[in-house]
Amino acid sequence: MLAARFPNRGPDGISVTLIESRLQPPIGVGEGTWPTIRSTLKQIGVSETDFLRECDASFKQGSKFVGWLNGTDAYYHPFTLPIDYIDRNLAPYWLEGPRTANFADSLCFQTRLCDRSLAPKLITTPEYAGVANYAYHLDAGKFAPFLQKHCVEKLGVTHVLDEIVSVDCDADGSILQLRTKSGTPLPGDLFVDCSGFAALLIGKHCNVPFIPCKDTLFIDKALAVQVSYDSEDAPIASITLSTAQSAGWIWDIGLTTRRGVGYVYSSNHTTEEAAANELRSYLGGRDISYRSININSGYRREFWVGNCVAVGLSAGFLEPLEASAIVMAELSAKSIGELLPGFRSGLPQAARIFNEMFQHRWQRIVEFLKLHYVLSRRTEPFWIDNRQAVPDYWRQHSPWHEDFSHREEVFSAASFQYVLYGMGFEPEPLPWLLNEADRIRAREKMAETARHAANLQAGLPTNRDLLGRIRKYGLQKI
Amino acid sequence: MTELVVINSQTHLNLRVSPHPSSATAGMNAVSVIPMELPRLLAHYPVFFLKSQESGRFEPVALLGFNEGENLFYANGRWEVDYVPLQIQRHPFSLVRRQELVGAAAALDLAIDMSSPQIRTDEGERLFSADGTATKFLEDRASMMQALVTGSNEAFNFAGKLAEFGLLESVQIKVEFVDRSEKKLQGLYWIATAALQKLTAAQLVELRDRKYLEWLYFQMASLAHVSGLVARKNRLISGVAR
C-alpha cells in the first residue's frame, strides 16, 4: 500500500524493500477479511479476477454466530449497514415492536442472501462493485505470495530473502540499518516491523512492552484444520460461521477449493484433547490432523517508536472473531502513508498521532469482541466466566454515530447494534425518545427491506455458481 | 417451449418454413450481432455493447426498443426495414451438439424448432426438393448458422479487446418522448472517443490487423440511429400510421 501510494522510485523518490525470512513460516490461518480489503486491493492495482482465482478466494458477507446465546440460537452480523443508517437510527423502532422478524432480518436485506449462500454480485457487476457489501475468505498461504509477486512486479518493491541478525542504530535509538545473515546491510529511513509474533524490531530491538488482554479475552489456543467439501457442488457459505463450543468457538470458512475450520478455546477451561474431540464431532466425527497454534491476545503499548513502526502480528493479535487482523494491517499501512513526514524531524509527531489512534482502535476491538460473550446464557464455566453486565448506557440508548466519534472506527454503531440485538439484549423501553414520523418510516423501511431481499434472492446467483463463472470468464473492470 | 429436432430429408421432406420473424422471436429490445453484419446494420440500427448475462463478457448488440420486449422495427407481423439481424433471421433453426462416441470431435447438427409458429405446411419455403436434396433456402440457413457460431466468437473477442485497451465506457442514455415521458437506458457501453485518441501505435496496428478498427468505426457511426429509434417510438406514441 505504501509502494502504491508513493510510486516515485527515482533518486528523489521512495523505495520500498521487503525482507522476507525463509525460516519464519507464515502462520497460515486468518482467512477472513473486512470490506476495506476491496478498496485496498483496488488501490494497489490488483485485478479482482486474478485475486479470486489465484487465492481460491470466495465472497464473505458477514458472520453468523450459532449457539452463542443458549446453544440453539443464531444471528448474523452482516457487512451491509442497517437500512437508512446514514440518516436515522431505526433500531429503537424495531425494539419497540411489533417484531415480525429478528433485528438483522428486519433492517438488513443481506441476511436472506447469506441464508441461501448467494453471491453479493452478478457476473455483469464490475470488479470490486457489489449489490451487497462484501469482503473475502481467502487462502492465506496463497495470498501472501500473490501480494508479494504483485508488489515486486507491478509496484517496484525490492524483495530480499534473508534473515535479520542485528540492528545498527544511532545515539538516540533510531534504526540506521539492518544487518542480515548474507552480510549485506540494509539501510533505511523508516522500518516497518512485519516480522509477526517474533516482533524483531518493535519488541526485541525497541523493547516496547506487550500488553496482554487475556484477563478480558480468555481464548489462548487454536486447533486448525483444512477439510474438503462433501461434494463438488456443495454450497460455499457467504459468511464466516462461528459456532459456540464448551470453551470457545469454532470458525468455519468456505473457500472455493476447501473449508478452513478451527477451534479457538481457552486452555484454562478445557484440554487440547477435549477440544480436539469437540472439533472432531463438529466435523461429523471424521479423522482430523490439526495444527495447534498459541494465541497470545494483546497488543503493544506503542506501535511507532522513532523510525520503527509495527504492522500486523508484531503489533498485536486477538482471537479471529471479527477478522480484525488483516483490517488492522490495512488501516496501519493507510495511516503510515497519510502520516509519513517529508523529513525525519516530523517522525515524533507522526508516531504520537499513530500511537494514539491505534491504542484507541485496539481497545475498541477488544471491547467489541468481549461484547459477543457477555450476554451469553450458556452454562459452561468458560461462558459463565465471560458473563458481564452490558454497559448501562446501552440500556438507555441505542448505539449510534456519536458514540463512535473517532475517524474510521473499526467497528461502527451498526456492528454494536447487530451483536447486541442479535444476542437478545433488551434495553429499557424509552417511548419519550421516539416519534411518530420515524415510527412510520421504520415500518416502511422494514417492508422495503423485505421486498429488496426477495428481489435479490430471485436475481442473484449462488456463490459457487458465480465463482465458477469468474474462474471461466473473469469479471469486467468497468 | 422449444422442441428442437435434427433436420433430415425424410422426416422434413414436405416441411415449409416462413422466412418472416414471428412476434415471439422478434419480441426483444436488444439483439446480439456479429461483426460481419455491421455494414448492413449501420443502415438502420444503433449498435452498443453490453455484458452477456451468462459470462459478463462484452458483446455488440443492436438496440431495437426502449423497454423490455419492445421491438420498434417490428409491427403487425412485419419487419419494417430491409435488413433483419441474423440472430433473429435464423429462427426457427438452431445448431445442436451431436451425440457422439467419447473422444470424437464435437460436431454440430442443424436442428429446427418444431414448436415455432414459422413452421408451416401450406406456404413458405421448402427445405427439400421432391428428390430430397436440400433447397437453396436450407443451404443458406445452414451457412447462416455457421456464420453465427464463428461470428459470435469474433464479436466477443472484438469487444474483449476493446475493453482490454480501455476503449469501452459505460453510458446512460436518457431520452424524452413526445408525451414527455422519459426513459433511462442502463447497462450500455460505447467507445470512449478520448481513449481512442490515446491508443499507442502498436495498439492501433493490432486493431487494424484484426479488422477491429473498421468494426469500431461502424459501431460509432451507428449511434446516429438512436434519434431514429426515438422517432419510431414517438410515432407509436402519437399513433401515426407507419
| Span A158-179, average pLDDT | 93
pLDDT in tens, A327-346: 999 999 999 999 999 999 99
3-class DSSP state of A153: helix
Report the chain B residue with the minimal C-alpha distance to residue A472.
Answer: B55
Banded model confidence at residue B228, pLDDT cuts 50, 70, 90:
very high
Banded model confidence at residue A473, pLDDT cuts 50, 70, 90:
very high
pLDDT in tens, B78-137: 999 999 999 999 999 999 888 766 666 668 889 999 999 998 877 889 999 989 899 999
Tell me how far apart the alpha carbons of residues B13 and B15 are, in angstroms, rounded to a whole number: 6
- Residues of chain A with C-beta less than 8 angstroms from the C-beta of B58: 476
Nearest to A218 by CA among A431, A25, A369: A369
SS3 content of chain B, % helix, strand, coil (to 5): 35, 25, 40
**What pLDDT is recorded for position A240?**
97
pLDDT in tens, A350-396: 999 999 999 999 999 999 999 999 999 999 999 999 999 888 889 88
Tell me how far apart the alpha carbons of residues A68 and A323 are, in angstroms, rounded to a whole number: 17
User: Which of A48, A121, A467, A473 has the most B C-beta neighbours within 10 Å, making it the best mutation to test the interface with B?
Assistant: A473
In angstroms, what separates the C-alpha of B134 from chain A's closest C-alpha? 39
pLDDT in tens, A181-228: 998 899 999 999 999 989 999 999 999 999 999 999 999 999 999 999
| Span B48-74, average pLDDT | 96
Which helix or strand (DSSP H or E) is residue A373 part of?
helix A347-374
**What pLDDT is recorded for position A401?**
87
In angstroms, what separates the C-alpha of A25 from chain B's closest C-alpha? 38
User: Which of A48, A121, A124, A465 has the most B C-beta neighbours within 10 Å, making it the best mutation to test the interface with B?
Assistant: A124
Tell me how far apart the alpha carbons of residues A367 and A399 are, in angstroms, rounded to a whole number: 14
| Span A18-22, average pLDDT | 90
Looking at the partner chain, which of B55, B57, B170 has a beta carbon nearest the beta carbon of A478? B170
- Residues of chain B with C-beta less than 8 angstroms from the C-beta of A475: 56
pLDDT in tens, A219-264: 999 999 999 999 999 999 999 999 999 999 999 999 999 999 999 9
- Residues of chain A with C-beta less than 8 angstroms from the C-beta of B163: 476-478
**What pLDDT is recorded for position B241?**
52
3-class DSSP state of A218: coil
Rounded to the nearest integer, the mean pLDDT of chain A is 94
**Chain centre to alpha carbon of residue A120:** 18
Which residues are bridge partners to A148 per DSSP?
A: none
Banded model confidence at residue A28, pLDDT cuts 50, 70, 90:
low
Tell me how far apart the alpha carbons of residues A1 and A155 are, in angstroms, rounded to a whole number: 9
pLDDT in tens, B122-180: 788 999 998 989 999 999 999 999 999 999 999 999 999 999 999 999 999 999 999 99
Rounded to the nearest integer, the mean pLDDT of chain B is 92
Specify burial of residue A217 (Cβ count, 10 A radius: 0-12, 13-18, 19+). Answer: buried
Q: A–B: how many Cβ contacts below 8 A?
A: 32
Packing angle, helices A324-339 and A347-374, rounded to 10 = 160
Whether the pLDDT of residue A101 is over 90: the answer is yes
| Span A158-177, average pLDDT | 92
Tell me how far apart the alpha carbons of residues B109 and B41 are, in angstroms, rounded to a whole number: 28
Tell me how far apart the alpha carbons of residues A207 and A226 are, in angstroms, rounded to a whole number: 36
Cell reading at B34: 456479429
- Residues of chain B with C-beta less than 8 angstroms from the C-beta of A476: 51, 56-58, 163
User: Which of B48, B50, B54, B162 has the most A C-beta neighbours within 10 Å, making it the best mutation to test the interface with A?
Assistant: B54
A188 shares contact with chain B (CB less than 8 Å): no
**What pLDDT is recorded for position B214?**
96
Q: Do A476 and B169 touch (CB under 8 A)?
A: no
Q: Indicate left, alpha or beta for B181 from its phi (over 0: left) and psi (-120 to 50: alpha).
A: beta
Looking at the partner chain, which of B55, B163, B168 has a beta carbon nearest the beta carbon of A473? B55
Report the chain A residue with the minimal C-alpha distance to residue B167.
Answer: A478
Report the chain B residue with the minimal C-alpha distance to residue A475.
Answer: B56
A390 shares contact with chain B (CB less than 8 Å): no
Q: Minimum mean pLDDT among A18-22, A110-114, A176-180: which range?
A: A18-22
pLDDT in tens, A400-459: 988 887 767 889 999 999 999 999 999 999 899 999 999 999 999 999 999 999 999 999
Tell me how far apart the alpha carbons of residues A386 and A216 are, in angstroms, rounded to a whole number: 8
B49 shares contact with chain A (CB less than 8 Å): no
Whether the pLDDT of residue A22 is over 90: the answer is no
Q: Are strands B125-126 and B16-17 parallel, antiparallel or unpaired?
A: antiparallel
In angstroms, what separates the C-alpha of B55 from chain A's closest C-alpha? 6
Banded model confidence at residue B14, pLDDT cuts 50, 70, 90:
confident
Q: How many residues belong to chain A? A: 478
Q: Do A123 and B51 touch (CB under 8 A)?
A: yes
Q: Are strands A158-161 and A17-20 parallel, antiparallel or unpaired?
A: parallel
Q: Minimum mean pLDDT among A2-11, A24-33, B26-35: which range?
A: A24-33
Cell reading at B105: 470431435
The pair phi, psi for residue B89, each rounded to 5°, is: -55, -30
Nearest to A330 by CA among A42, A82, A79, A133: A42
In angstroms, what separates the C-alpha of A120 from chain B's closest C-alpha? 15
**What pLDDT is recorded for position B102?**
63
Looking at the partner chain, which of B53, B55, B168 has a beta carbon nearest the beta carbon of A478? B168
Residues 430-469 of A with CB under 8 A from B: 469
Share of chain B above pLDDT 70, in %: 96
Q: Do B163 and A477 touch (CB under 8 A)?
A: yes
Tell me how far apart the alpha carbons of residues B191 and A10 are, in angstroms, rounded to a whole number: 36
Q: Do B56 and A472 touch (CB under 8 A)?
A: no
Beta strands in A119-174 (DSSP E): 135-137, 158-161, 164-169
| Span A62-87, average pLDDT | 96
